[in-house]
Structure 1
Amino acid sequence: MSTEEIINSALKLAPEERFELIDRVLHSLDRPDPEIDRIWIEEAERRLAAYRAGEAKGVPAEDIFGDF
């Protein structure tokens, strides 16, 4: 079955079935990489230590996102 045939078949599904299909396909792509997780943990710890040492300042969420 070609990609186009799969898409056409998927578009005939009920909305809740399409959502389930999308959810399952997206989750199949989400393969956590322990090395990337380790790097982000180290970065988060470095930033927190810098903040606690007064070497970095926080920015209020309103300044970043505006009024929610």
Structure 2
Amino acid sequence: MPITAKSLSAQALQLPPDERLALVDQLLATLDEPDASLDALWANEAESRLAAYRRGEIQATSLSDVIAKYQIDSRPA
């Protein structure tokens, strides 16, 4: 019988918290492998946006405005 994500997850949930955390760290590390082509795309995008900003074609947004836009309202309903 092949191992499925569902069966593997059920087994992982039986582990103590520290071992589950170690497993999560190991799995996430496999997803964070460098990809030169993706890095190049992001570098080109960043350079393009910086050049547009310097030409006055786009405006900067303050960090506080960005945080406020994505902050979750944690007040009780």
Assess same fold via TM > 0.5.
Answer: yes
The one of 65, 68, 75 aligned to 1:66: 68
Identity among equivalent positions (%) equals 42
TM-score, normalised relative to structure 2: 0.68
Segments of structure 1 that go 5 or more residues without pairing to the other structure are none
Displacement after TM superposition at 1:22 (Å): 1.1
Segments of structure 2 that go 5 or more residues without pairing to the other structure are 72-77
Displacement after TM superposition at 1:30 (Å): 2.7
Choose between structure 1 and 2 for higher RCO, CA contacts under 8 A separated by at least 6 residues.
1
2:74 matched residue in structure 1: none
Q: Which has the higher helix share?
A: 1
Whole-angstrom distance in 2 between the partners of 1:16 and 1:31 = 24
Aligned counterparts, 1:1-68, within 5 A: 2-3=3-4, 4=7, 6-66=8-68
Q: How many residues align?
A: 67
Whole-angstrom distance in 1 between the partners of 2:30 and 2:43 = 24
Whole-angstrom distance in 2 between the partners of 1:55 and 1:8 = 52
Instruction: Report the RMSD for the aligned CA atoms in angstroms.
Output: 2.2
Whole-angstrom distance in 2 between the partners of 1:30 and 1:66 = 28
Whole-angstrom distance in 2 between the partners of 1:25 and 1:54 = 43
